[in-house]
Amino acid sequence: MGYADPSAGTPAPLTVDGLARRKRDGARLAVVTAYDAGIARAAERAGIDILLVGDSLGMVVQGFDTTLPVTVDHMVYHCAAVARGARRTLRAADMPFGSAPDPATAYRNAVRMIAEGGADMVKLEGAGHMLDVIRYLVERDIPVCAHLGLTPQSVLRLGGYRVQGREDAAAERLRAEARAVAEAGASALVLECVPAALAQGITARLLIPTIGIGAGPHCDGQVLVSTDLLGLGEGRRPRFVRDFLAGRGSIGEAFRAYADAVRDGSFPAAEESYV
């Protein structure tokens, strides 16, 4: 099926055009964030499907309280480091806060992520005016992953990091936005911090894969921040985080255990999901 399996030799790497096929095949996607060559290399060797160079680096690498201070220059720098560490794994890059106010500006910044940073696709938070941005980028051969639910770049408007889509109106809006980003040309959709049943319904209705983080076990894949799955997060652990390094001897083993748990459906468990 073209996805990484360390026990099966060297399979063909996953590409953007293979994402929909993976969904049709029912093969779950194991995704982690990476910000440097070392972690990227370990994740690739462990068989991770997609490396997300997330603007979460603002919090876990740079020490900010939110992702908002992250710049395009920061993202390009970290994308290039990840690309040097993992040349075969599909790499996605977050478009940081304020980098896509209009299609033309988004295009210029996305080109930098790909041409300078070595990303294979970019990730955009939200719908609304982002639908025009998604269409503009896709028409110009830049693959896009959409991101709905809890969108960290909207933390000021949302009033904090909260589960989204619990009320009927909010759930219906998320369903409509999910259809809209897919119709605009997104190749995948991250769903963050939404009730598991809502994510299941959205996943069933889309032809593109959904990748959940705090969105229950029925998405087509899962993503975790690498420091979280390695037990390095500070403060109260979010419900959807599991420490995969605990009881294991190396980061590589932790990544491999995470990938196995995603693919066999044992992660996330019910207690790691929202209702």
Return the SS3 of 28: coil
φ, ψ (nearest 5 deg) of residue 73: -60, -40
Q: Give the bridge partners for 122, in sequence order.
A: 93, 144
Under 8 Å between Cβ of 200 and 232: no
Under 8 Å between Cβ of 219 and 203: yes
Catalytic residue among 44, 125, 177, 192: 192
Rounded distance, CA 91 to CA 88, Å? 9
* Single-letter amino acid code for the residue at 85: G
Under 8 Å between Cβ of 220 and 262: no
**Residue 125 bears catalytic tag:** no
The tokens for 266 are 């044992």
The angle subtended at Cα 91 by Cα 25 and Cα 134, nearest 5°, is 85
Q: Which of 34, 24, 29 is nearest to 14 (CA)?
A: 29
In this structure, what is the dihedral angle of CA atoms 170, 175, 179, 184, given to the nearest 10 degrees? Answer: 20
Under 8 Å between Cβ of 181 and 132: no
Rounded distance, CA 77 to CA 32, Å? 18
Rounded distance, CA 261 to CA 244, Å? 10
Positions marked active-site: 192
